[in-house]
């Protein structure tokens, strides 16, 4: 078989593998929701396979405990085959391939020659800076890691948007009920809608704070493919950089001969990585995705991938990472670290009341050392209480999960966020243990609460409180009325020993603008310093004094 024939076969095989990997990614993504009796394992497969997640989390958390070592498989494969993870597996890379091919079809012109650009070194400098930051405990790789970026974007923007469009469309048809005689459009649209709702989406539609900006970032990254194919992978991706460094001496190498080459340039036009396949002996294994496009493109069969012993020097070039630039990147990382750490919250002097973390979240410092902002917990959360942080956790904790109890609440019978977290930033607690965890404390705003402020009955917060013995109780109070006389009303109080801060009281409070009962991070189990209330009831029972009266 000629090299070109073989190249074409491999390219088609690669496309099939890419499609399967993307479908697997999307399948696992859609499967991340609560369902009785189903284990949550495997949902974070692509994060487990990501060596950047493993390395950076190890550096920032100083431990491998709770981390999947599956990423070592990716490392091994990269050492043998090169950056094939980027070319064959990475779902975000595949999506970018698709956008880039759209560009070719739309423009209907010969694409430009993709020459190597010195800017491709940027990703290595970013990697160094991020790893230096990680070493200091600031885990910012999730902002740039392609698995995190893709998952987060799907979870917070693409899926909710798609779901909303389908729901609104089905509702419009349902309500207008267009029909021709006895043929109603709803008899087609309703089953289709129910199929999508019950079989595809399954989980209820969520809404996310600031999802517009996250969508813009996602679309911008995709749009850059119209400028250069796989722009992100070439110039920015720190995972690509890490794999590139590992691929420097990979055993599968591109081999070309000048004799067969007529300088037609087809190989370099088809190369999405600008890896210089046309310059024999100067091929860039650190850039190459191993996609085999060049082999398939060469009509003379002048290019081929061949195995070589790792100790043999490759007939290849390297990207010149200047020592000075690397040092500057490291200093930049330190500077970034410093920038993130000068806030009062990061200094541990104050506690942000709205910084309420999922149940099982480690103490804030440790949590930030592990959270990769992937959004898996947010996607899995049945009520949508978990939202991407914008300011609550400072810049360091951007897009990490925080509670917004006006949007949702922490379901008493659910511990899914801890089960799915790929880095155990949220510890996977058994359900009974999770029910004991306090994420915060409810407090009543007596200037709004109906029985306090407006002389009206209302028991909604108590009604919804899921604690078996109710963390909200009533004290009967005689309230004077405007028209004279009094009325006895049940006024709610919060028992700080029982309240876990789940927030359903805030979600269900009749006030939807600013609820009259709200949760803050006070009393959270993970921070003893943020627990203002001595546990064990209000009396002085231990010395026999007891509550008076």
Q: Which is nearer to other proteins, 141 or 458 (CB)?
A: 458
Q: Which residues contact 192 (CB under 8 A, 6 or more apart)?
A: 170
Whether 253 and 285 have beta carbons less than 8 Å apart is answered as: yes
Integer angstrom CA distances of residue 504 from 411, 432, 453: 8, 19, 21
Interface region with other proteins, contact rule CB under 8 A, candidates 148-156, 169-177, 293-301, 390-398: 169-177
Q: Which is nearer to other proteins, 468 or 545 (CB)?
A: 468
CA distance 521 to 506: 14
Q: What token pair was written down for 350?
A: 């104050």
The correct pick among 15, 103, 464, 527 for binding other proteins (CB under 8 A) is 464
CA distance 279 to 281: 6
423-452 positions binding other proteins, by CB under 8 A = 450
Q: What token pair was written down for 314?
A: 């490759």
Least distance CB 29 / other proteins (angstroms): 18
The correct pick among 22, 275, 374, 465 for binding other proteins (CB under 8 A) is 465
Q: Is 474 in the site for other proteins (CB under 8 A)?
A: yes
Count of chain residues binding other proteins (CB under 8 A) = 36
Least distance CB 202 / other proteins (angstroms): 8
387-416 positions binding other proteins, by CB under 8 A = 411-414
The correct pick among 304, 462, 506, 524 for binding other proteins (CB under 8 A) is 462
Binding letters toward other proteins, positions 31-60, x by CB under 8 A:
---x-x------------------------
Q: In this structure, what are the phi and psi dihedrals at residue 460, rounded to the nearest 5 degrees?
A: -60, -40
Whether 255 and 306 have beta carbons less than 8 Å apart is answered as: yes
CA distance 82 to 528: 48
Least distance CB 31 / other proteins (angstroms): 14
Whether 263 and 295 have beta carbons less than 8 Å apart is answered as: no
- List strand residue ranges (DSSP E) for 448-538, in order: 472-480, 486-494, 517-520
Q: What token pair was written down for 325?
A: 């630039």
Give the residue among 374, 352, 355, 368 at the shortest CA–CA distance from 439.
Answer: 355
Query: DSSP H helical segments within 196-237, as ranges?
Result: 211-223, 231
Least distance CB 506 / other proteins (angstroms): 12
Tell me the three state secondary structure of residue 63. coil
360-389 positions binding other proteins, by CB under 8 A = 382-383
484-503 positions binding other proteins, by CB under 8 A = 490
Least distance CB 379 / other proteins (angstroms): 15
Q: Which residues contact 136 (CB under 8 A, 6 or more apart)?
A: 60, 333, 334, 337, 341
172-211 positions binding other proteins, by CB under 8 A = 174-175, 197, 202-204
Least distance CB 403 / other proteins (angstroms): 17
The correct pick among 27, 39, 468, 528 for binding other proteins (CB under 8 A) is 468
Interface region with other proteins, contact rule CB under 8 A, candidates 133-141, 269-277, 359-367, 453-461: 453-461
Q: How many CB atoms lie within 10 A of CB 468?
A: 9
The correct pick among 165, 213, 223, 459 for binding other proteins (CB under 8 A) is 459
The correct pick among 9, 26, 111, 171 for binding other proteins (CB under 8 A) is 171
CA distance 147 to 2: 36
Whether 95 and 26 have beta carbons less than 8 Å apart is answered as: no
Least distance CB 356 / other proteins (angstroms): 20
Least distance CB 388 / other proteins (angstroms): 21
Residues that bind other proteins (CB under 8 A): 34, 36, 167, 171, 174-175, 197, 202-204, 382-383, 411-414, 450, 456-460, 462-470, 474, 490, 508-510
């Amino acid at each position: 078989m000629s090299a070109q024939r073989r190249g074409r076969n491999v390219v088609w095989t690669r496309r099939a593998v890419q499609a399967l990997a993307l479908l697997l990614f999307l399948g696992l993504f859609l499967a991340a929701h609560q369902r009785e009796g189903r284990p949550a394992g495997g949902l974070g497969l692509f994060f487990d396979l990501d060596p950047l997640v493993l390395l950076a989390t190890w550096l920032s958390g100083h431990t491998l405990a709770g981390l999947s070592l599956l990423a070592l498989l990716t490392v091994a494969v990269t050492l043998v085959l090169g950056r094939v993870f980027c070319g064959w597996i990475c779902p975000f890379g595949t999506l970018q391939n698709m956008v880039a091919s759209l560009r070719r079809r739309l423009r209907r012109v010969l694409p430009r020659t993709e020459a190597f650009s010195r800017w491709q070194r940027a990703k290595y400098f970013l990697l160094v800076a991020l790893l230096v930051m990680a070493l200091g405990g600031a885990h910012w790789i999730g902002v740039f890691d392609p698995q995190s970026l893709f998952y987060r974007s799907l979870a917070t923007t693409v899926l909710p948007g798609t779901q909303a469009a389908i729901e609104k469309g089905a509702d419009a048809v349902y309500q207008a009920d267009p029909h021709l005689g006895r043929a109603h459009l709803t008899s087609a649209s309703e089953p289709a809608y129910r199929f999508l709702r019950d079989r595809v989406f399954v989980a209820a539609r969520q809404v996310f704070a600031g999802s517009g900006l996250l969508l813009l970032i996602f679309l911008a990254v995709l749009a850059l493919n119209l400028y250069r194919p796989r722009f992100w992978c070439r110039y920015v991706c720190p995972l690509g950089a890490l794999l590139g460094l590992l691929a420097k001496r990979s055993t599968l190498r591109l081999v070309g001969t000048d004799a067969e080459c007529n300088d037609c340039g087809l190989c370099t036009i088809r190369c999405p990585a600008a890896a210089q396949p046309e310059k024999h002996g100067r091929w860039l294994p650190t850039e190459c995705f191993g996609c085999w496009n060049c082999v398939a493109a060469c009509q003379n069969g002048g290019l081929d991938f061949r195995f070589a012993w790792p100790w043999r020097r490759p007939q290849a070039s390297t990207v010149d990472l200047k020592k000075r630039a690397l040092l500057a990147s490291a200093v930049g990382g330190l500077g970034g670290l410093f920038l993130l750490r000068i806030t009062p919250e990061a200094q541990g002097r104050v506690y942000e009341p709205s910084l309420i973390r999922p149940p099982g979240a480690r103490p804030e410092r440790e949590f930030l050392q592990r959270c990769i902002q992937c959004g898996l917990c947010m996607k899995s959360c049945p009520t949508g209480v978990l939202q991407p942080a914008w300011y609550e956790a400072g810049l360091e904790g951007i897009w990490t999960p925080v509670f917004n109890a006006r949007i949702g609440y922490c379901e008493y019978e659910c511990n899914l966020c801890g089960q799915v977290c790929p880095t155990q930033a949220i510890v996977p607690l058994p359900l009974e243990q999770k029910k004991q965890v306090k994420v915060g404390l409810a407090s009543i705003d007596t200037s709004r609460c109906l029985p306090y402020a407006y002389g009206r009955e209302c028991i909604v917060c108590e009604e919804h409180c899921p604690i078996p013995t109710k963390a909200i109780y009533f004290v009967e109070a005689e309230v004077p009325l405007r028209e004279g006389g009094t009325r006895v009303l049940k006024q709610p109080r919060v028992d700080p020993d029982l309240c876990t801060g789940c927030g359903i009281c805030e979600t269900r409070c009749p006030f939807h603008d600013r609820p009259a009962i709200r949760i803050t991070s006070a009393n959270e189990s993970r921070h003893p310093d943020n627990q203002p209330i001595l546990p064990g009831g209000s009396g002085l029972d231990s010395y026999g004094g007891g509550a008076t009266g």
